[in-house]
Amino acid sequence: MNNDRLRDFIDKNRNEFDEVESPQLDHIWDDISTATQQDRPSHFKWIALVAFMMILLTAMWYNSYQTNQKLNRLEHFVMNSPTYQSEHQKLIKMVADKERLIEASDIKESEYIELFNELKELENNSEAFEKDFELYGDSSELMRTLFKNYERKAKILELLLFENEKKSQNENNNRHEM
């Protein structure tokens, strides 16, 4: 449009037309910023998740490390305490005594025969006592005698069992040494 005064005026003063009003730009920016923060690319979420996992694992490792340190300190304290030392020495002595007892309780072949004979005799006694029960009824004297008989049988059987276990153990040890 030729000779258009209005258009010429606007073109000449175009920038001033963008300065007439004073909008609340800072306030508007706050809302824009909030909206765009919620819209961040998804890899930020992944980075945040990985970072969180790293922190969690580090915390778990540190906690485990601290616990181990405490247990080590406690173990050190217990191992070096006089009570533990004393109890430990007692245990060592007890095991040594037991071993000596086992070595000392070796049974000779002739003694085996004696033990089996005694077992047989005790068996016979048991049968006799059972008959006495039928004949004389229950008496405390008879009961005590029968109990002692069984007690003696149990001891002999225990001794034989123990001897048998010891022999098996020795055989195993010899096999390993070979």
CA–CA dist 20, 17 (Å, integer): 6
Give min distance, CB of 50 to another protein, in A: 17
Tell me the C-alpha to C-alpha distance, in Å, between residue 14 and each of 5, 22, 167: 14, 17, 115
Q: Which is nearer to another protein, 5 or 131 (CB)?
A: 5
Q: Which is nearer to another protein, 31 or 127 (CB)?
A: 31
Distance of CA 76 to the CA centre of its chain: 19
Tell me the C-alpha to C-alpha distance, in Å, between residue 102 and each of 63, 97, 157, 169, 176: 49, 9, 16, 12, 21
Q: Which is nearer to another protein, 45 or 144 (CB)?
A: 45
Q: Does 7 interact with another protein (rule: CB under 8 A)?
A: yes
| Contact mark string toward another protein, 8..47, x via CB under 8 A | -xx--xxxxxxxxx-xxx-xxx-xxx-xxx-xxx--x---
Interface of this chain with another protein, residues 113 to 152, rule: CB under 8 A: none
Give min distance, CB of 48 to another protein, in A: 13
Q: Which is nearer to another protein, 21 or 177 (CB)?
A: 21
Number of residues this chain uses to bind another protein (CB under 8 A): 30
CA atoms within 13 A on the CB side of 91: 6
Which residues, at least 6 apart from 105, have a Cβ–Cβ distance to it below 8 Å? 159, 162, 163
- The two tokens of residue 113 are 């025969």
Q: Which is nearer to another protein, 9 or 77 (CB)?
A: 9
Quick check: 151 and 131 in contact, CB under 8 A? no
Interface of this chain with another protein, residues 61 to 90, rule: CB under 8 A: none
List interacting residues with another protein (CB under 8 A): 5-7, 9-10, 13-21, 23-25, 27-29, 31-33, 35-37, 39-41, 44
